[in-house]
Chains A and B, each alone.
Chain A
């Protein structure tokens, strides 16, 4: 197909604003899928994604509309995958910007809309769910038009659910989105905007061909990483897999590579032909680095090999996942894992528990730190336990946070951000009612419960997104926890000097509630170096007996004792003290207490 008949686009929408329903309706209208066999929401493949209402991995679907080839490129729906979103958008010339007629623009939509504008995409604004009783299509259309500098009259008003207005949207794509403008006779270049792993076929790359053409059995090279491979199979999805043997300039499709390791073919890299190589890769490749770290330990130490195997298998499909073995005195053998962000962490953890049936202790997340010990070079530290005792300088990652909130909650949001070492950046009214705020914040301040706090202080109305901006120096200290005089490595945290005392006190108070009374008094201390900053005591039990035990009670009593024994076995031994696993999660819930 000549390039002037091709349109490549994605759909930008907030969770639940109807992206998947709209995609389904498009597939139906273009007869790619019959209504009858259509599994609702074809594009979201994984069970987990469907349950969470998000899409982790992008895919692309080719459909026909009035003599044109339309490629719908799905974008991941969350903040942690901004880089993947930006690559998906780079593969398009246009985007549908979809907003719920009742809810209006959300922070995430805004962030992705800005990304699309930065990528010079033609934006087709769409207000969805006009059939809802509480819909206010005019207000949503005005807000949307303001956002992208368009006329409210150009905003399409549709109901993806009923199908109303969807044909017009397809027409608008053909009319407004420019065709691809690569060079069909230049040395071939294709952008990898997503990849997945198939256990039989190896790594599958999703690509947008920019220049030239690719065919089966051709030796290829990924330019940034230098990986050499062969195109075992080429084709596209419509939405079922369809082998074409050829992908030409402007087209979107897949390449089966036979590679056994996803990390050798990274999103954002450029594929070229080994025989007729392009001189320059496509712009924009970044090596994404994990920013949030957490220790993962099996509840039962016998499960360590299972956890290792599970991480290996997840890593096959998730190039952004990082892990290395970690040993904790309290929790035994496990792994320190690195994630793009909080959602990524949550997804990995859920998959480990659900798909691999593992029972895990996940330590409180922390961010990556850059540390300079005296007379040494800078090092990156992924765990509080690895923080050197003597530090000359330390830097922590910062984010730019974008928050959209009804105006009456602006004060609450500002207060929260001030508590979290935030620096005010910008405030603008999106409409009479809704305000867009931006703040600079240390990433460490949002990894624990920032999102929950934001939601609870705005009665759920705030929407939030962020972008990592870089490392900055911070006055940070490590707070250690000692239980019965023994340091508990898994409970150490790195905090700003000014909040060390409050956090230390909150933590020991919390632990006092979590650690059951033992046969002796247990001191719980928080310390910076050798200086104790907070202390609590779990008083020894004074009695622990079942009074009555005669002939008829022996079995019951024995079973009670076995249960008590099993309970003790589930605890982790810190010196002489039995610490329940829940206590290791105490750090996670500290911030809730901070305000009270």
Chain B
């Protein structure tokens, strides 16, 4: 296993649209939580290869974690070729940027979401557009040459012109990498309750936003290498190596509350309850886990599902068993997939319809 994910659940406040395991505030717990993470690392260390390829600190807001605790964690984690930390603009200071650099972090994923005050408000984001820019420059100044920006589109009230503005502002900063997600308003959430009507009214307009994002970013010299991810074209491969590991079906170890691991045909999720997690690890035992065995067949289906999100063709081989050959031909005829029967890839139009096309392709 060469990929490690570490979950830091703490946030200054909870954003209405977010569905990750997060915990608001609780500064006093940051230190003990890091202790728990390190205990879990000890328990699972034998699963890890001597040399890791990637480490990814996600959240929550990892950079909201109390700096001493964060430094202690970073110092204790194994070294890797790519070490990414997720950051919220309002948490980024010159001191934090320097701390991350000092402890070997070489990639930062900045949760921008939007550059416009009225849209940031809808998302309950604290940062202002200027905060975003300042954070980006602080990271650059500290020497980060691999920065990713997260953008959200399909925000209630967002017009096509608003989206253009956001994309323009992002491109202007010149990040190495961009992740662009359509907002998912889960039915029954507070967010859906507040904005569902607006989203419904805009549904037709917003249908074109995905195309708009892809058109604008590819025109600006970004490679659409995964359904929602873009990296600057050039000599360097700037794709997220950690996330590529997921999409290529590799094993990964996840540490922390609610973290998911996939190891040797088993997937498990740690308890999402912070107290339970910490209590277990204080006693040096594994936290409660929900385990899902993955059959060969399921793994193959997942590899097709994930592999088709990428722009590089999927090598069929043993995966051909889970692909419906008739559907493949029909979809090729419709111009949605490209195949030479040995490899399979979605065409640009197929990628916009990736969910339905993949459902068609799987037997």
Contacts and interface: CB of A to CB of B under 8 A. Distances in A.
B262 A547 contact: no
Give the interface SS of chain A, mostly helix, strand, loop or mixed: loop
B355 A519 contact: no
Contact of B227 (A547, A552, A554, A555): A547
B354 A544 contact: yes
B228 A547 contact: yes
Interface stretch (A206-214, A326-334, A560-568): A560-568
B336 A544 contact: no
Contact of B208 (A519, A542, A554, A555): A542
A551 B254 CA distance: 9
A545 B352 contact: yes
Contacts of B336: 519
Contact of B334 (A542, A564, A565, A576): A576
Q: How large is the interface on A (under 10, 10 to 19, 20 to 34, 35 or more residues)?
A: 20 to 34
Interface in B198-223: 207-208, 210-211
A516 to B, nearest CB: 10
Interface string A531-568: 00000000001111111111110110110110011001
Contacts of B180: 547
Contacts of B246: 549-551, 554
A429 interface: no
Interface stretch (B45-53, B87-95, B273-281, B300-308): B300-308
Contacts of B181: 547-548
B359 A545 contact: no
Nearest to B301: A558
B10 interface: no
A118 to B, nearest CB: 61
Given A542-B211, A558-B302, A519 B227 contact: no
Contact of A554 (B262, B330, B362): B262
B184 interface: yes
Contacts, number: 96
Interface in B254-273: 254, 258-262, 267, 269
A541 B353 contact: yes
Contacts of A543: 182, 207, 210-211, 352-353
Contacts of B292: 555
A551 B260 CA distance: 7
A513 to B, nearest CB: 15
A555 B305 CA distance: 11
A520 B269 contact: no
Interface in A486-535: 519-520
B309 interface: yes
Contact of B5 (A545, A549, A551, A576): A551
A558 B307 CA distance: 13
Contact of A544 (B184, B298, B330, B353): B353
Contact of B362 (A541, A549, A555, A561): A561
17 contacts: A542-B207, A542-B211, A542-B352, A543-B353, A544-B352, A545-B210, A545-B227, A547-B180, A547-B182, A549-B228, A551-B254, A551-B261, A552-B254, A554-B302, A558-B298, A560-B355, A565-B362
Given A545-B353, A560-B355, 17 more contacts: A519-B336, A519-B356, A520-B334, A543-B207, A543-B352, A545-B210, A545-B228, A545-B351, A545-B354, A545-B355, A549-B247, A550-B246, A552-B258, A552-B259, A554-B267, A564-B359, A568-B360
Interface of B: 5, 180-182, 184, 207-208, 210-211, 227-228, 243, 246-247, 252, 254, 258-262, 267, 269, 292, 298, 301-302, 305-306, 309, 330-331, 334, 336, 351-360, 362
| 8 smallest beta-carbon distances between A and B, as pairs | A547-B181, A552-B260, A564-B359, A544-B356, A544-B355, A543-B210, A545-B354, A565-B359
